[in-house]
Amino acid sequence: MTFPILTSLIVLPIVGAVLLFAIKEDDAHAATIRNVALIVSALVFAETLLLWSRFNAATADFQFVERHAWIPAFGISYFVGVDGISLFLLVLTGLLTPLALLSSWESVHKRLKVFCIFVLLLESAMIGVFVSLDLFLFYVFWDAMLVPMYFLIGIWGYDRRVYAAVKFILYTMAGSVLMLLAILGLAYMHNTANGAYSFDLLRMYALPIPERVQFWFFLAFALAFAIKVPLFPFHTWLPDAHVEAPTAGSVILAGVLLKMGTYGLVRFAFPLFPAAAATFAPWLALLAVVGIIYGALVAMVQPDMKKLVAYSSVSHLGFVVLGIAAMNTQGMQGAVYQMLNHGVSTGGLFLIVGMLSDRRHTRLIAEYGGLKRVVPHLVSAFLLVTLSSIGLPGLNGFVGEFLILLGAFRADPRMAAFAATGVILSATYMLWMFQRVNYGEVTNEANASMPDLSRREWTILVPVVAVAVLMGVLPNIFLRPIEPSVDRMLALTQRSASFRAQAARSPERLALPNRGVAARSPERLALPNRGVAARSPERLALPNRGVAARSPERLALPNRGVAARSPERLALPNRGVAARSPERLALPNRGVAARSPERLALPNRGVAARSPERLALPNRGVAARSPERLALPVRGPAPHSPGSARLSAERRVP
């Protein structure tokens, strides 16, 4: 029995919350409360790092899997696991929670104990969302997470906190309840197909879902996630929630909660409903691009720093969705990477805005100016985080945005072109804000005596900046574990959607495609052109009758025009190439031959070097898993194995 590391990650914050509950709340114990909360969250972070160190980056499978029956009558289990996509989101959650707690040390005095309890409960629910591999469990964490966040905004927020908190919870719930229905629908489809209920995500991946149903289920899932992301036009809750939330709330909200929307798209909506995803991906991409530009433009005119950063999140998350909707490796890898980047840099921005607002109790850009002279250390950290948010090469933001644009370009160059303007716009609004806040003369007297970073604030900012640089300089240590998992999700997303759906609806439809027609009117199959034959028999006999009547020579000599213009084109089709470089026609692979002659001679050289037995026994893996598949490749279109359905269908359908 191995140590249940994921469960311990979920439970540890709850244990911390219970510990805090037992501490008496008064001024004398304030330091104890802070330390307990901080230590617990730091332990969680350490544990996520431990998880990373133990993580096997070579495989796409879920690791550290735990599975226990929970509600067996409905096939619901406590089923958790981590792959490359969720691994770093866990690490990000682990990193941001202690930072968020630290950032609130000076600003939260009212009801400190309850505040820390809610932050820890929130952390537990967030971890739960990222590790759940059971749809029911996922939904439980997804909804449970709303409650602590609601209280964090509503109790410790700014002036319009109640409005913002209620809006936050209602928007998110309205989206997610329909997802609950879709989850239930999936479970019942699993029951119909396999005779047992299940909410197991991995089984759901293999479940054949009719295309029409996919359409609705995808919409239900995508709505829930689009609201959470938030994708334009579902973003209106975000600026309110961000602006009114306390610093810790904003950091967690921007850093982790928004990622749940994009994570949900990658993990659930796209791979579960590939056919619908293929249909809707261009529309999602369009909304994402609108969001990128709209968010950037609105951010530009904000007088309030927090609101500016909030709208910049709309823009940046648009990039993430664009990458996902591109449905190729670069795009999706970039999207996953950009989720982490956004967590670090926007989290960092909110932390810095929080520090300024702790000092001056205002977040209006106009209230500041010339801070560089007063608080140089804070400003240099601010600059680094700003540049990382813009996407300067060498810092984290660049890698993600570059990959996403690359992927988007492959999917649809127009989208990439419009999205790229977002990069410029983000430089505009961020740098303009930075300039107004930090450069020039100190115009406001109150700013002149601002203290620079305290030791606590150093502790907060150093990790943020260090991670931003690390992710910019060495992206591969993050991308390598992500890659296999992304490829796996993509493979699921790109399954031949139509065949899968057809096979699900009725296997015999594949075998006898025109069954229905045959039943209704057998003569239609036998004499397909019956109607035409009835109306004008000569049309069937002489299909080109009209052409023949108009210009008989067109039928006799189809290439007559070309022949007239340049007779030699018909005779020597490759004449141009021959003229420019005669050897290209003679030796088509000349270039490869020149660069590396052995590639032509031994095309599978690389595979041979890595694993010689793969060349010798290509189907080795299949043979190991199920020998009968090799022996009987076409065993019939069973509903559970769309792959074999496809194979056999391809042979039967001419």
**Chain residues in the site for another protein (CB under 8 A):** 70-74, 136, 139-141, 143-144, 146-147, 150-151, 154-155, 161-162, 165-166, 169-170, 173-174, 177-178, 180-181, 184-185, 187-188
Residues with Cβ within 8 Å of 423's Cβ and at least 6 positions away in sequence, in order, are 390, 391, 401, 405
Rounded CA separation 408/412 (Å): 6
Question: Nearer to another protein by C-beta: 174 or 572?
Answer: 174
For the bound state, the minimum distance from the C-beta of residue 213 to another protein, rounded and expressed in Å, comes to 11
The distance of closest approach from Cβ of residue 70 to another protein in the complex, given in angstroms and rounded to an integer, is 7
Report, in Å, the least distance between residue 219 CB and another protein.
Answer: 12
CA 620 to chain centre: 33
Looking from the CA of 376 toward its CB, the CA atoms found within 13 Å total 1
Helix (H) or strand (E) holding 356: helix 329-360
75 Rama class: left (phi>0) / alpha (psi -120 to 50) / beta: left
Distance CA 499, CA 645 (A): 8
Output the smallest distance, CB 497 to another protein, in A: 23
Run of H or E residues at 138: helix 135-144
Which lies closer to another protein via its Cβ, residue 178 or residue 511? 178
CB of 162 to another protein, least distance (A): 5
Backbone angles phi, psi at 492, to 5 degrees: -65, -40
Cβ 68 to another protein shortest distance, Å: 11
- Which C-beta is closer to another protein: that of 104 or that of 312? 104
Written as one string, the DSSP assignment of 81-123 is EE-HHHHHHHHHHHHHHHHHHHHTTTT--TTHHHHHHHHHHHH
Q: In angstroms, what is the minimal distance from the CB of 250 to another protein?
A: 18
Amino acid symbol at 326: A
- Residue 69 Cβ, how far from another protein at the closest point, in Å? 8
Structure tokens that stand for 616 in this block: 């010798």
List of residues 6+ apart from 268 with CB closer than 8 A: 135, 138, 201, 221, 225
Q: How many CA atoms lie within 13 A of 152 on its CB side?
A: 30
Judged by beta carbon, residue 162 or residue 466, the one nearer another protein is: 162
Of 88 and 171, CB closest to another protein? 171
Listed in sequence order, the residues at least 6 apart from 151 whose beta carbon sits closer than 8 Å to its beta carbon are 114, 118, 165
What is the residue whose two structure tokens read 């600003």? 107
The 3 state secondary structure assigned to 147-202 is HHHHHHHHHHCCCCHHHHHHHHHHHHHHHHHHHHHHHHHHHHHHHHHHCCCCCEHH
Q: How far is the CB of 28 from another protein (least distance, A)?
A: 19
CA distance 509 to 399: 47
Nearer of residues 155 and 336 to another protein, judged by Cβ: 155
Nearest to 97 by CA among 71, 74, 118: 118
Instruction: State the Cα–Cα distance between residues 163 and 156, nearest whole angstrom.
Output: 13
Which residue's CB is nearer to another protein, number 124 or number 388? 124
User: Nearest approach, Cβ of 74 to another protein (angstroms)?
Assistant: 7
Q: Which is nearer to another protein, 161 or 372 (CB)?
A: 161
Residue 206 CB, nearest approach to another protein (Å)? 21
Task: Tell me 31's DSSP state.
Answer: H
- Rounded Cα distance, 529 and 414, in Å: 43
Q: How far is the CB of 92 from another protein (least distance, A)?
A: 24
**Closer to another protein by Cβ: residue 185 or 282:** 185
Nearer to another protein, 105 or 151 (CB): 151
CA 647 to chain centre: 31
Q: In the complex with another protein, which residue's Cβ is closer, 165 or 258? A: 165
Q: How many CB atoms lie within 10 A of CB 383?
A: 15
- What stretches of 195-273 show up as alpha helix (H) in DSSP? 201-206, 211-228, 237-244, 247-252, 258-264, 270-272
Least Å distance between CB 27 and another protein? 16
For residue 233, is the peptide bond before it cis, meaning its omega torsion is within 30 degrees of 0?
yes
Closer residue to another protein (CB): 156 or 382: 156
To another protein, the closest distance from the beta carbon of 163 in angstroms equals: 10
- 91: tokens are 């690490």
Q: Least distance in Å: CB of 375 to another protein?
A: 34
What does the CA dihedral 97, 101, 103, 107 come to, rounded to 10 degrees? 150
SS3 543: coil
Beta carbon nearer to another protein, 85 or 209: 209
